[in-house]
Chain A
Amino acid sequence: MTDAAQTVTGAAISAQHLVRRFGTFTAVDDISFRVEKGEIFGFLGPNGSGKTTIIKMLTGLLPLTGGDAWVQGIDVRKDAEAVRENIGYMSQKFSLYDDLTVLENLRFYGRIYGLSPERMKQRIDDIVQLNGLSPYMNRLAAQLSGGWKQRLALGCAMLHEPKLLFLDEPTAGIDPVARRQLWDLLFELSGHGITFFVTTHYMDEAERCSHVAYIYYGKLIADGTPADLKQLPDVQPAGTARVEIITPQVTRALRLARHIPGIRSATIFGESIHALVEEHFNLADLRAQLQKDGIAVTDIRPLTASLEDVFVELTYKHQALLEASRG
């Protein structure tokens, strides 16, 4: 067995040194990661950072400029067709045929994947049962609300029972209840051994993933479980602590806080400031100092890093590295 084959075994996705260039622009720059079966893999990054490009590479829509990828154990370079037989994909627009009914949309995808009539009926029954579409079967897709469209799109993507589903921003633009319900559904399916590759902009969604990766302008700068990432030395350097300063005057407080020695960084989160401070820093002193400048401090308390903190810290660090390398 070769090294490559060993890393492939058992993984839902194994990407090794992926590179994609468009002309002189490198959209995906030497990215490697591995997604285990049954994981909910959250893939995050700003717009234009290469998320969709990677999905297109993994689904065989874009040829790889460099590197290798195995999806469900199939070499994407060698057999993109076979990859497509074995995955489901739901794009950010919930690409449905608005002028077809719910049932017609489902049947269309069933036919594309060549399901037999018996299996098609069985699968449609299963899916309708699972995501509660039954009252809407004869309604035009155009008449569904965002949340129901998304359920239908998910239904279409999993009609052929793929073991791996790519969801490109599945919750963009839908209401919070529908968002919560979708995640409940993903957990349930994940419990049945289905792997999800989910891109999102929502940090709370990232927190719910069993594995997250963060891509920043073509580079992978974080990869691990949410808990592991929060312990990274870059995020929580030795000798520092994270605190939350709650105050009604966040903007003024932020300006002041940034000039207080001992505070390494500070960011506004709603009605509070999250700050990374030196471990020996005395919180009572900080409160006194702010109050002296006329800031009403409701509370100062220790805080564990959120994933957002993680990504902010890693992005800063990466930007600094980029600037240093440019000289």
Chain B
Amino acid sequence: MASPFRGFAAVFYKEVLHVRRDPGTLFFSLLIPLMQMVVLGFAIDTNVRQVHTVVYNADGRQESRELIDRLKNSDTFNVIRYVENDHDLNDEIIGGKARVGIKIPVDFSDRLIHGMSAQVLVLIDGSDSSVAGQAINVTTAIGLDESLRREVTDSTAPFAVDMRPKLLFNPDSRSPNFFLPGLTAVLLLNVTTFLTAFAIVREKERGTLEQLFVTPVRPFGLLLGKLLPYFFIGFFELCNILFFMRFVFRVPIHGNVFLLALLSIPYLFVCLSFGMLISSKANSQAQAMQLAFLTFLPSIFFSGYIFPRETMPIFFRVLSYFIPASYFINITRGIILRGAGLQHLWIDGLALTAMGTILLVIAARRFSNKVIMT
């Protein structure tokens, strides 16, 4: 009688050979879980630390400097800049450079010396609810602590140092307001990078690409002709997402929608060019899928979509500058939540345009050298 396990060894050996012949698949299947582990365990610090903070110290005397030192020593705040007026204080936050602004009034020291209650204004960017919560807690705690060290002669005021937090942009701390603008960047990847990557790989699989290369079609003609339809699809999808965000999830858009549309063009361009580059490398749709996922995960984890970029270790923070979604998330949150204008965001648009151009040129070179032909 034949054993029910007949053929086991043969099939086992054959499968081992398949795996060895295709190290790419093995690499990805081993790398992705490891990457997720590293990201979740190491790169992501849910404790909010070193929040970028801007300080307007209108008082400037001993007592006010002591307060600032205490805030700095809390590890929650990282004072990146001192400004001299209210306008700059606001602008730093709208531009996304700082998430917390602290204003110490001109009579702060005087009031404390005279035993009166002194108020400190704490402006908090409410677009990230975890950062906002932590900022409120820590500033209030420091205020209480300072107050305990001082005597208040005016019995009507309970605290000597009265921290007055004020949430900007997202006063209700609604999480859709925070997540949806970032999600836009991730969702757009789906209809851009993935679709274009497949579009050319499909032609490779069918053999039509080979046919095209024997015609006078030039690389840029081919790439742009392939790219443009997906650009319109991506743009249409952006409009859908914005519509749902505004009218279904009721996220208010504080800035100019047309500016958002304008600045989404370079982002779509980068994503599409990346899809082209993938399709120049991949020889099958499965391979294209793997490569596209390789861009998808960093766009979720390292772009600031879920975890603030400020709290990442230096390596991942540097990495985030190479991820297009980082810039676009800054753009969407800036315009939608903080009402930022072109003067705050032009550099993000420029970075995206540069990335897209570089990627497209690399892809076109690969096509003109026919390196994709095997």
Interface residues in chain A, defined as those with a beta carbon under 8 Å from any beta carbon in chain B: 56, 59, 61-62, 81, 84-85, 87, 89-93, 95-98, 109, 112-114, 156, 166
- Bound CA–CA A90/B208 (angstroms): 10
- Let me know if B155 is at the binding interface, CB within 8 A: no
Which single residue of chain A is at the shortest CB-CB distance from B206?
A: A95
Q: Is the CB of B208 within 8 A of A61?
A: no
Q: Is the CB of A109 within 8 A of B214?
A: no
- Let me know if B23 is at the binding interface, CB within 8 A: no
* Given A61-B370, A61-B373, A62-B370, CB of A95 within 8 Å of CB of B210: yes
- Bound CA–CA A56/B370 (angstroms): 11
- Let me know if B212 is at the binding interface, CB within 8 A: yes
Please encode chain B, from 204 to 236, with 1 for each CB lying within 8 Å of some chain A CB and 0 for all others: 001110111111110000000000000000000
Contacts of B207 in A (CB 8 A): 91-93, 95
* Given A61-B370, A61-B373, A62-B370, CB of A98 within 8 Å of CB of B215: no
Contacts of A62 in B (CB 8 A): 370, 373
- Bound CA–CA A81/B210 (angstroms): 15
- Bound CA–CA A91/B206 (angstroms): 11
Question: Range of interface residues on chain B?
Answer: 10 to 19
* Given A91-B207, A93-B206, A95-B206, CB of A61 within 8 Å of CB of B213: yes
Q: Is the CB of A95 within 8 A of B370?
A: no
Which single residue of chain A is at the shortest CB-CB distance from B369?
A: A63
Select one of A93, A97, A112 contacting B215, CB under 8 A.
A112
Q: How distant is B216 from chain A, measured CB to nearest CB, in Å?
A: 5
Can you list 9 A-B pairs with a CB-CB distance of less than 8 A?
A: A56-B373, A61-B213, A61-B214, A62-B370, A84-B214, A95-B210, A112-B212, A112-B216, A166-B214
Within 8 A of A (CB), among B227-264: none
Q: Is the CB of B216 within 8 A of A81?
A: yes
Which single residue of chain B is at the shortest CB-CB distance from A84?
A: B216
Question: Given A59-B214, A95-B206, A112-B215, 9 other A-B contacts at CB below 8 A?
Answer: A62-B373, A89-B214, A92-B207, A95-B208, A95-B210, A97-B208, A98-B206, A156-B211, A166-B214
Contacts of A114 in B (CB 8 A): 216
- Bound CA–CA A89/B217 (angstroms): 14
Q: Is the CB of A89 within 8 A of B211?
A: yes
